[in-house]
Structure 1
């Protein structure tokens, strides 16, 4: 049995590993000339930047993936726990270092009673996280999750789904900094706090309880490790091989045709490419499970302008992870989701050179800056947004001469994501995790029109982020096996 996997990002490589394990002869085809997809790498003059993901969260998902193949995370790359997890720069106020081990004390020092409230909040987050892992992530939703863990908590789960994260947090904490610390994970979900179901307060379990880690070598090392597993399972990876169409016969997938007219036969085709591109560009209209009208009603999530900066001299003002939050960030989310050329003033900065000496030459720092903007493939203000972000960082962090010290500057925006990855609307993360785009409402990982065609990656179930992409790959194998369980597979 042959399988073709479209895309050599996290989901594509992981899917190839699972299919190879299952005995398929697997070929991964990737349009670009490097693996990793959005989790790529850029190297220039001694600097190296991870071009996408930078927060290593949900370590259990990574552990499970490697253990399934008889290995371990520790065998593949070294992890370092970041403590503090990040530094928060609230607009007009002193910076705060946020540590999972000292979060209760920090909350209490800012707002009397907030320490106890945080303990209760994190307990709820931990319980909700475990229910999600056990019943809502490793599943194809071909059977409803009616386990006792779910049914006994049904009323609570319905409340968490029907209310939003912002109101859930605001009911428990009053200081705007504390509220922002607990609701900013909505951005990881490509959404806004008031549009994100309160069930996703489970995200605070991943950063404040499980902790934030950094893989030595960055996410490039993680990608290489996943690719190594795929190759160990017999998969081959073809770069510079763009798919022109998915081939089918009598309602059954039979392979793909590349843009150079090469045909690759297959019994199974898995697209880890953007779902909208897969449906609208690679299939004829009569074989599309998701027509244009489906996407017209949905939220493509956030776009981003990304800055890859090389800076001369040390930057002690910054930790590895840093967040700059506006005092009132409602206009930031309003701009990103509702304004034609909207830009957020709440930014994220990663300084991996704080932890990894290999990402910058000696005497220099490596910065990755993320500015949320509207997901729009026609967005053309990248340079202006970058200039404004550099000025804002200089003012808010006290690095007044930042602009003058930049020796490397590389900027990408929504147009890049649209062209490089065929991302829907140029979004950089994936469809927003609103209520209508979460769990079983996010869609199916199998075509309803073409037998043998499956989907993986951030644009399908279970959702966005590297851990979710790993899980989506496993769910393809479960679909092929006819496994309707809600638990992770055992070797």
Structure 2
């Protein structure tokens, strides 16, 4: 068995020993963490199962090489967290050669009756659109909706996205409890929308984005209307060249600081000796030693496969997870001007379709789906006279309710026919399906196999109240020292900007646990740093159940005020 010592014998500042870290997975969380830790003085080795960087946030082309697709994310939101990540690393989008374009229209939402609602960051345009459905006082409700979303956005930045939650004690911070009610954690996005919009049409238009969390708008926490705030007040952005430019830039920054990336190198297990992670063993039998192991692979899958199975890992496997998808990637023979950059087709049975996905874990009889045409805002995505089209159809994650792998061809065919029928019928197209020159498909099975995603869930663990904050898996392994996590299922949660924030939290925690200096340009405040300090010893004999009871009591008392 081959062994590689991840330690380096030299360091730029002259120290005799440079600490080492092996990162499992080169997704956005892994690449951002690699760049941070390399700059902070670590010898960094990243091991990636696939032959590309970015994980779900990656790019690929069809066999012709002329049509390019984003594997997963296709719009850039909450730019503040991207700018923060690049600034912490001493660079920026501009310095890394990434050009961001703003989509002129956020979405065209096409309803079954062929009526269209257009959403944009142009307030003048939105005033006309909202009042068309809600009447002359409707715009006031829209502005109040945005005001609430703004409050959720700012409170989340301070109390969630820049704070680590190392135990239940972390939730007993007075500042969090005082502001918890303002985040509306016990009501849904849809219920918040009903407060500000009287028509069912606009309630649907302003809540479908819960799909970005892999959740139903009837279950997603009210705080997540911060997404609509960012879309309407900051706009939807897209990196020219594809979303995969972001993790590729992080890889480049990391490599400039000395990090090493090894692709086509799946990891079999994390090596644990005397309660400490000491490295990993690859599928080929090679041992890669390190002082720290940071796992960017799916957390639930990793706890069950990279570490010894425990009662905790079994409980994680039973936790609710986000949806999966059937995603179609179509190379078109011509342009399809009837489709904008982002077009949403909502089901007539809106709630029923979401219940089918998230309650019954099935493929809905009448799906709502999202169509992205990257070539509409990025000419490099397709030949000048053609389009590249991505269709994402949310479906239940892999479970007993979904068919076995042998039945997926039939399921995909039925789903494709439903999607094509709705596109042609609602947009008045007669030959759309005939214009598809080539098709690539990802199913829940594909997502699970390609990226080791638990149950094929494309966005990790769910985001109900008991799966966020201290209830979400921590950035530090619960029982193994020198072992950490970053990614969608770890705190603070899913989505590219949120995972970037998670990389900041995880790497700050690694540095502080080792008594290393956090780079000054990360601007980690003392109060933020305090949330990273270990509380295992401080808890002493305090019962977790007692802490949980105290938290629930404190929240209940506050909510009744």
Interval of TM-score (by shorter of Structure 1 and Structure 2):
over 0.9
Residues 1:66 and 2:86 are matched in the alignment: yes
CA distance in 1: counterparts of 2:126 and 2:486, whole angstroms: 36
1:393-451, Cα deviation, whole Å (9 max, x unpaired): 11122222111111011111000111111101011122221121122221211112110
1:66-94, Cα deviation, whole Å (9 max, x unpaired): 11111112222001111211111011132
Q: Is the 8 A contact 2:59 2:242 kept in 1?
A: no
CA distance in 2: counterparts of 1:149 and 1:489, whole angstroms: 22
Residues 1:490 and 2:508 are matched in the alignment: no
Residues 1:170 and 2:170 are matched in the alignment: no
Q: Is the 8 A contact 2:88 2:521 kept in 1?
A: no
1:474 to partner: Cα distance: 0.9
Find the counterpart in structure 2 of residue 207 from structure 1. 231
As a proportion of its length, which structure holds more strand? 1
CA distance in 1: counterparts of 2:146 and 2:129, whole angstroms: 14
Residues 1:233 and 2:257 are matched in the alignment: yes
1:488 to partner: Cα distance: 10
CA distance in 2: counterparts of 1:336 and 1:346, whole angstroms: 10
1:275 to partner: Cα distance: 0.9
Q: How many residues align?
A: 485
1:111-168, Cα deviation, whole Å (9 max, x unpaired): 12221011111111112101101120122213636778646534434xx111121112
Q: Is the 8 A contact 2:171 2:470 kept in 1?
A: no
SS in 1 for 2:522: coil
CA distance in 2: counterparts of 1:339 and 1:162, whole angstroms: 22
Distance 1:223 1:383, change over 3 A: farther
Give the TM-score, by structure 1 length: 0.94
Structure 1 residue corresponding to 2:209, chosen from 185, 205, 209 = 185
Structure 2 residue corresponding to 1:408, chosen from 427, 432, 438 = 438
Q: Where in structure 1 are there 5+ consecutive unaligned residues?
A: none
CA distance in 2: counterparts of 1:110 and 1:60, whole angstroms: 32
1:391 to partner: Cα distance: 2.2
Distance 1:175 1:488, change over 3 A: farther
CA distance in 2: counterparts of 1:203 and 1:125, whole angstroms: 7
Find the counterpart in structure 2 of residue 384 from structure 1. 414
Find the counterpart in structure 1 of residue 59 from structure 2. 41
Query: Greater shift after overlay, 423-432 or 148-157?
Result: 148-157
Residues 1:252 and 2:276 are matched in the alignment: yes
Q: Is the 8 A contact 1:7 1:271 kept in 2?
A: yes
CA distance in 2: counterparts of 1:138 and 1:382, whole angstroms: 41
Structure 2 residue corresponding to 1:293, chosen from 287, 296, 315 = 315
Q: Is the 8 A contact 2:361 2:397 kept in 1?
A: no
Structure 2 residue corresponding to 1:9, chosen from 23, 27, 31 = 27
Distance 1:147 1:73, change over 3 A: farther
CA distance in 2: counterparts of 1:419 and 1:5, whole angstroms: 20
SS in 1 for 2:237: strand
SS in 1 for 2:494: coil
Structure 1 residue corresponding to 2:45, chosen from 17, 27, 32 = 27
Residues 1:318 and 2:336 are matched in the alignment: no
CA distance in 2: counterparts of 1:282 and 1:222, whole angstroms: 27
SS in 2 for 1:382: helix
Find the counterpart in structure 1 of residue 371 from structure 2. 349
Q: Is the 8 A contact 2:294 2:485 kept in 1?
A: yes
Q: Is the 8 A contact 2:321 2:461 kept in 1?
A: yes
1:86-485, aligned counterparts within 5 Å?
86-101=107-122, 102-112=125-135, 113-142=137-166, 144=170, 150=176, 153-157=179-183, 160-285=184-309, 288=310, 290-296=312-318, 298-339=319-360, 341-343=362-364, 345-376=367-398, 378=404, 380=408, 381-482=411-512
Distance 1:152 1:450, change over 3 A: closer
Distance 1:311 1:14, change over 3 A: same
Q: Is the 8 A contact 1:131 1:149 kept in 2?
A: no
Question: Higher Cα Rg: structure 1 or 2?
Answer: 2
Q: Is the 8 A contact 1:103 1:208 kept in 2?
A: no
CA distance in 2: counterparts of 1:16 and 1:187, whole angstroms: 29
CA distance in 2: counterparts of 1:108 and 1:289, whole angstroms: 54
1:331 to partner: Cα distance: 1.5
Q: Where in structure 2 are there 5+ consecutive unaligned residues?
A: 1-18, 525-561
CA distance in 1: counterparts of 2:139 and 2:172, whole angstroms: 35
CA distance in 1: counterparts of 2:175 and 2:149, whole angstroms: 15
SS in 2 for 1:364: coil
1:242 to partner: Cα distance: 0.6
CA distance in 2: counterparts of 1:359 and 1:155, whole angstroms: 44
Distance 1:368 1:272, change over 3 A: same
Q: Is the 8 A contact 1:382 1:412 kept in 2?
A: no
SS in 1 for 2:218: helix
Q: Is the 8 A contact 1:2 1:24 kept in 2?
A: yes
CA distance in 2: counterparts of 1:152 and 1:242, whole angstroms: 45
Query: Greater shift after overlay, 105-114 or 403-412?
Result: 105-114
CA distance in 2: counterparts of 1:262 and 1:238, whole angstroms: 13
SS in 1 for 2:348: coil
CA distance in 1: counterparts of 2:382 and 2:335, whole angstroms: 11
1:254 to partner: Cα distance: 0.2
Give the TM-score, by structure 2 length: 0.83
1:203 to partner: Cα distance: 1.6
